[in-house]
């Protein structure tokens, strides 16, 4: 029997990778970072926010970022990914989902993100309206291996947990 206080829990994972491109601003986790190159992409190329979006969509069983914001759609050209994340947050709220926690890992050889992690954490936590204690950002290199290790791209992986109260079915 389902009690009124019972919740259902769902986890989701999101991964993304974007290559560096000249003449682009580097947006990472909603933060503008001083760097010679930005990330290529139809939107602003914010690989970290895209991973967050896909993890949230995954947990809520709502599909994926490419279906909701197709890169064939001109309205998302150079789109600010913070706006895309806020759109997803609204969709979650409509379905009564509450974010329990998010854990983000960014893999970048350059720039070094050690000092930028707190800013990214603050930015994503405030966009999602969650407590700092529910938001974690990890940064690592790729030990010189592959596209990320050779400094050609930045990758991100994110996991999120959502909860909502069971609807009483009488
Ligand atoms: Zn992306």
Average pLDDT on 10-17 reads: 98
Q: What is the 54 CA–ligand 1 centroid distance (Å)?
A: 9
Q: What is the 50 CA–ligand 1 centroid distance (Å)?
A: 5
Instruction: Answer yes or no: is pLDDT of 2 > 70.
Output: no
Q: What is the 7 CA–ligand 1 centroid distance (Å)?
A: 31
CA distances to 5, 95, 106 from 92, rounded to whole Å, are 20, 5, 24
Average pLDDT on 147-165 reads: 97
What is the band of 77 on the pLDDT scale with cuts at 50, 70, 90? confident
Question: Residue 5 has what pLDDT?
Answer: 67
Q: Mind listing the pLDDT tens digit for each residue in 25-69?
A: 999 999 999 999 999 999 999 999 999 999 999 999 999 999 999
CA distances to 1, 134, 151 from 143, rounded to whole Å, are 51, 28, 11
Q: What is the 78 CA–ligand 1 centroid distance (Å)?
A: 12
Q: What is the 1 CA–ligand 1 centroid distance (Å)?
A: 42
Q: What is the 10 CA–ligand 1 centroid distance (Å)?
A: 23
What is the band of 170 on the pLDDT scale with cuts at 50, 70, 90? low
Instruction: Let me know how long the chain is.
Output: 170
State the average pLDDT for the chain. Answer: 94
Whose CA is closest to 129, among 105, 155, 103, 93?
Answer: 93
Q: What is the 89 CA–ligand 1 centroid distance (Å)?
A: 17
Q: What is the 170 CA–ligand 1 centroid distance (Å)?
A: 43
What is the band of 166 on the pLDDT scale with cuts at 50, 70, 90? confident
The three-state (H, E, C) secondary structure of 9-42, written as one string: EEEEEEEEEEEEECCCCEEECCEEECCCCEECCC
Instruction: Answer yes or no: is pLDDT of 19 > 80.
Output: yes
Q: What is the 48 CA–ligand 1 centroid distance (Å)?
A: 8
Q: What is the 80 CA–ligand 1 centroid distance (Å)?
A: 12
Question: Residue 73 has what pLDDT?
Answer: 85
In this structure, what token pair is assigned to residue 17? 């990778």
Question: Residue 108 has what pLDDT?
Answer: 98
Q: Which residues of 136-156 are buried (b: 16+ CB within 10 A; e: fewer)?
A: bbebeebeeeeebeebebbbb
Average pLDDT on 105-114 reads: 96
Instruction: Answer yes or no: is pLDDT of 100 > 80.
Output: yes
Q: What is the CA radius of gyration of the chain?
A: 17
């Amino acid at each position: 029997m389902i009690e009124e206080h019972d919740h259902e829990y769902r986890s989701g994972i999101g991964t993304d990778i974007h290559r560096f491109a000249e003449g682009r601003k580097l947006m990472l986790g909603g933060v503008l970072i001083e760097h010679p190159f930005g990330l290529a992409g139809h939107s602003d190329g914010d690989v970290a926010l895209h991973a967050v979006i896909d993890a949230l969509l995954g947990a809520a069983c709502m599909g994926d970022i490419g279906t909701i914001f197709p890169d064939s759609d001109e309205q998302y050209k150079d789109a600010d990914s913070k706006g895309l994340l806020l759109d997803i947050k609204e969709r979650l709220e409509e379905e009564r989902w509450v974010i329990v926690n998010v854990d983000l890992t960014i893999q970048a050889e350059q720039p070094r993100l050690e000092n930028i992690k707190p800013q990214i954490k603050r930015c994503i936590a405030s966009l999602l309206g969650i407590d700092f204690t529910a938001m974690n950002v990890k940064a690592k290199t790729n030990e010189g291996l592959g596209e990320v290790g050779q400094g050609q791209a930045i990758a991100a992986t994110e996991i999120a947990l959502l909860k909502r109260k069971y609807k009483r079915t009488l």
